[in-house]
Amino acid sequence: MTTPIYQEIKDFILARIHAGEWSEGDQVPSENELAREFNVARMTVNRALRELTAEQVLTRTRGAGTFVAQPKYESTLVAIRSISDEIVARDHRYHAQVLEVGAAVADAKLADEMQLGAGSPIFHSRVLHFENDTPVQFEERWVNPDVAPEYALQDFTATTPNQYLMRVAPLQRVEYRIEAAMPDEDTRRLLKMDEREPCLMLHRRTWSQGLVASTVNLWHPGSRYRFTGHF
């Protein structure tokens, strides 16, 4: 799978921000400079810079240039917060049941989402999260080994996958969607749901080190969970 040139430019910028070469407020190279460096038309560079601006990685000022923006992740509707922290904040007991963690192979659809080649090795985990003794979240996650090479060695009853990844793979970008969905039979059984009850499903993809770090589906019983947020 060939990476589009505009994505290569985005990855180039993100890698330098992650490495600390460019910090908040630093000016990034101009469209003309990037066009010369990558030997492409300014239109291609403009797309990369516009997308990074929309993703709140960069900020653009007419007549002044393009700059590294202040991180905005804390403003997202669904905060990147561990389910265990949410439960403890309610003064309830948290525990997890690890159903699966290990290596897998990315099929074509997953490889495309993770921006990897089809057949690439990838980590896969399935974890059931409990509030007191009630299951409230079923997590199925895929992780890029280049970002978290020791992921499969972790004890996810002692720390959640989210907590571990936040520590070893600092966020650069987050993409998510929330939808109501009917779970499959296995998910319904794990979450102890009525057969007519829908789930709230959060699908989230995160980037770190210029790479897609993780993609995850978080399934919640509609009657036992709600999303809240603030701006």
Q: What is the pLDDT of residue 226?
A: 66
Per CATH, the architecture of 73-221 is what? 3-Layer(aba) Sandwich (3.40)
Task: Identify which of 90-94, 120-124, 170-174 has the greatest average pLDDT.
Answer: 120-124
Q: Residue 4's pLDDT is what?
A: 87
Q: What is the pTM of this model?
A: 0.67
Question: Where do the domains of the chain lie?
Answer: 5-68, 73-221
Question: What is the distance between the alpha carbons of residues 1 and 205, in angstroms, rounded to a whole number?
Answer: 19
Q: Which amino acid is at 43?
A: M
Beta bridge partners of 216: 141, 204
Tokens for 174, please give them.
């987050």
54 in Cβ contact with 65 (< 8 Å): no
Helix (H, G, I), strand (E, B) or coil at 59: strand
The predicted pLDDT at position 75 comes to: 34
- pLDDT at position 72 is 47
pLDDT at 230: 47
Asked if 137 and 83 touch (Cβ cutoff 8 Å), the reply is yes
Per the structure block, which two tokens stand in for 147?
């970002």
State which fold the 5-68 domain adopts: Arc Repressor Mutant, subunit A (1.10.10)
- Mean pLDDT across the stretch 120-139? 96
pLDDT of residue 77: 42
**Pair 77, 83: CB distance under 8 Å:** no
